[in-house]
Amino acid sequence: MQFAEIDLSFDCLPRMVRADSVAALYEATRGWGIIDHNLVAGDIDGTIGHRSARASLAESARPGVADARLDRRYDWQGWIAHEDMPCVIDPPGG
């Protein structure tokens, strides 16, 4: 089992600076690392959005601590994919 991942946050920054739309900005965060970051953005076309850009652990059920030590079903499941992180563009109601 691997206990550390490579943080690519600094690799995202040049792509983020060059992004020309909310969608491009959010795609530029692919690889964003362990820094918890909520990204709220707007572009010149009037598009707005919110994205949770961080590396987050995938979890199974959340048992008590004693249960987790005894049952392998509650082991670390890896990272949540970039596509599956919370993101909304142009939400109803603004």
CA distance 20 to 51: 16
CA distance 80 to 32: 12
Non-local CB neighbours of 19 within 8 Å, separated by 6+ positions:
25, 27, 28
pLDDT value at residue 83: 86
CA distance 60 to 80: 12
CA distance 32 to 79: 12
pTM over 0.85: no
Domain boundaries, the chain: 9-89
Q: What is the mean pLDDT of each run of 10 residues along the chain (94 residues)?
A: 66 93 93 77 95 67 56 68 88 88
